[in-house]
């Protein structure tokens, strides 16, 4: 029996990119830092919240690249001349990627109490019924 890939199934016309999207998501390399939440705030809106304590607004960048929301953080090293007896607060850079479906738009980003909130909205597609006329050949 031949196994069909998801993007090549005969009933899924036009979904060739779906398999590549799943592979790209699996390979995104997101580690566990920084921790994040994804919540549904209404039927068509979402909020991603990242714990970015120690990062200032200028240390963070938010971009949309190839249908992916990419959030990057880079702190400047301010440890010069300081002697730490214990350093448990991470001062490292990060990159978090979230693949966005078609029709999902990135709204505003809010920094609040060490948490970065990014709001997303999904456009509601209009239901379209199209009748195709059959002509004689």
**Helices marked H in the chain:** 16-26
Q: How much is the pLDDT for 16?
A: 64
Q: Determine contact, residues 43/122, Cβ cutoff 8 Å.
A: no
For the cut 80, the answer to whether the pLDDT of residue 6 exceeds it is no
Mean pLDDT in residue range 65-87? 88
Q: How much is the pLDDT for 7?
A: 56
Beta-carbon contacts of 17 under 8 Å, excluding residues fewer than 6 positions away, are 7
pLDDT digits over 52-69, tens only? 988 999 999 999 998 899
Cis peptide upstream of residue 34 (ω within 30 degrees of 0):
yes
For the cut 80, the answer to whether the pLDDT of residue 101 exceeds it is yes
pLDDT more than 70, % of the chain? 77
Confidence tier at 115 by pLDDT (50, 70, 90):
very high
Could you give all domains of the chain from N- to C-terminal order, each with its CATH number?
Answer: 1-30 (no CATH), 32-78+85-122 (2.60.40.790)
**Count of C-beta atoms within a 10 Å radius of residue 22:** 13
Alpha-carbon distance 40 to 103, whole Å? 16
């Amino acid at each position: 029996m031949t196994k069909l890939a998801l993007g090549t199934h005969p009933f899924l016309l036009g979904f060739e990119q779906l398999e590549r999207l799943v592979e790209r998501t699996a390979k995104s390399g997101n580690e566990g830092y920084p921790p994040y939440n994804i919540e549904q705030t209404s039927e068509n809106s979402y909020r991603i919240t990242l714990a970015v304590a120690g990062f200032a607004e200028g240390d963070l960048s938010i971009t949309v690249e190839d249908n992916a929301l990419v959030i990057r953080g880079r702190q400047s090293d301010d440890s010069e001349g300081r002697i730490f007896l214990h350093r448990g607060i991470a001062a490292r850079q990060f990159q978090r990627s979230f693949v966005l479906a078609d029709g999902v738009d990135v709204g505003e980003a809010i920094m609040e109490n060490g948490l970065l909130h990014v709001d997303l909205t999904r456009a509601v597609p209009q239901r379209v019924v199209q009748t195709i006329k059959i002509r004689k050949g």
